[in-house]
């Protein structure tokens, strides 16, 4: 496969995963806001994850609900708006159209047609925001369904999977760090049940938690699940393990030095995740550990893109 096409498949998958993550995050937080009062919701946490603006601008727009929706959903200026993220995904899919199945192309094209149509504005104008998120999640789920049932398990699929889990791991650790920052990484903190419920819902893990934990929602169990549970598909460990598997499958025969270095770094991160116990960590140590995970992950991703997807 062409390196340029591999790059397009990787980024297509990253952008769709980003769209998925942003949509679910917005839906949960918007629904949560309806339980209290919309005016009181603190959008700054969501904006900081989804808008590429300096903090002072985030503070300025977060008080205006219409501006928030516009910036996150339809803005052409915000490179992380859903409109832009889905447009980028489609451009990459279009470039790699001959390497993906027709069903996958159609599902991404349908997603793009929806986000660029008047239907979006109609949902916003009628204030049917939850309906809008449901529709988007449905379209994204169709993409994932098509990916799973129509795509041959070849190199193209592995690059798509690589992109998907790179993005998912970055989204998970960023969301996690953002949320734990609100309690200063204090694992003994007792917080509102809804605080943890919303975090779990944002990573599609609430039901998993209920089924797999006999305990009530608490800081340590939630952290253990999101960071380390190998059976939970949105955990950091699950994503890193999948990245390691796809990396080895794709690049085992490539340049030995590059391959060995990067494989070592991914393996090291996986081992850190696999053999870390957090129960007795102080807030400072836990914060450092989480920041280390994020930093190591970022370094791996940048090195991977530079060594294996650089076609110029």
> Contact positions toward other proteins, by CB under 8 A?
1-6, 91, 94-95, 97-98, 102, 105-106, 109-110, 113, 155, 250, 253-254, 308, 311-312
Which residue number, 192 or 312, has a Cβ lying nearer to other proteins?
Answer: 312
User: 206 vs 120, 140, 192, 200, CA distance in Å?
Assistant: 28, 20, 15, 5
Closest to other proteins by CB, 105 vs 185, is: 105
Q: Shortest Cβ distance from residue 75 to other proteins (Å)?
A: 16
Rounded CA separation 203/24 (Å): 8
**Least distance to other proteins, CB of residue 188, Å:** 48
Cα separations (Å) of 23 from 107, 236, 293?
Answer: 16, 19, 25
Nearer to other proteins, 3 or 284 (CB): 3
- Residue 84 tokens, joined: 């832009």
Judge contact between 73 and 83, C-beta under 8 A. Answer: yes
Q: Are 104 and 86 in contact (CB under 8 A)?
A: no
Q: Is 255 left (phi over 0), alpha (psi -120 to 50) or beta?
A: beta
Structure tokens that stand for 175 in this block: 């969301």
- Beta carbon of residue 105, minimum distance to other proteins (angstroms, whole number): 7
Place of tokens 């769209």: 19
Q: Which is nearer to other proteins, 106 or 291 (CB)?
A: 106
In the complex with other proteins, the residue whose CB is nearer, 142 or 189, is: 142
Nearest distance, CB of residue 218 and other proteins, angstroms: 45
Shortest distance in whole angstroms from residue 265 CB to other proteins = 20
């Amino acid at each position: 496969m062409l390196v340029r096409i591999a790059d397009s498949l990787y980024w297509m998958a990253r952008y769709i995963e980003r769209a998925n993550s942003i949509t679910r995050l917005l839906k949960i937080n918007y629904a949560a806001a309806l339980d209290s009062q919309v005016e009181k919701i603190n959008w700054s946490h969501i904006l900081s994850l989804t808008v590429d603006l300096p903090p002072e601008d985030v503070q300025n727009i977060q008080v205006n609900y219409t501006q928030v929706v516009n910036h996150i959903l339809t803005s052409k200026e915000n490179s992380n708006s859903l409109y832009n993220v889905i447009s980028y995904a489609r451009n990459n899919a279009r470039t790699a159209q001959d390497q993906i199945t027709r069903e996958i192309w159609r599902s991404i094209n349908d997603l793009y047609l929806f986000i660029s149509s008047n239907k979006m504005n109609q949902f916003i104008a009628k204030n049917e925001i939850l309906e809008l998120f449901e529709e988007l999640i449905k379209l994204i789920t169709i993409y994932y369904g098509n990916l799973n049932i129509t795509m041959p398990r070849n190199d193209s699929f592995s690059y798509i999977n690589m992109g998907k889990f790179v993005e998912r791991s970055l989204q998970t650790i960023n969301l996690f760090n953002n949320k734990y920052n609100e309690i200063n990484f204090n694992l003994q903190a007792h917080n509102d049940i809804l605080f943890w419920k919303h975090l779990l819902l944002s990573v599609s893990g609430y039901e998993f938690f209920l089924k797999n934990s006999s305990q009530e929602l608490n800081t340590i169990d939630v952290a253990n699940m999101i960071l380390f549970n190998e059976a939970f598909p949105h955990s950091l460990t699950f994503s890193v393990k999948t990245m390691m598997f796809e990396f080895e499958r794709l690049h085992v025969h490539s340049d030995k030095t590059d391959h060995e270095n990067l494989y070592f770094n991914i393996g090291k991160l996986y081992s850190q995740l696999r053999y870390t116990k957090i129960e007795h960590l102080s807030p400072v140590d836990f914060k450092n550990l989480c920041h280390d995970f994020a930093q190591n992950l970022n370094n791996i991703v940048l090195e991977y893109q530079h060594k294996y997807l650089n076609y110029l």
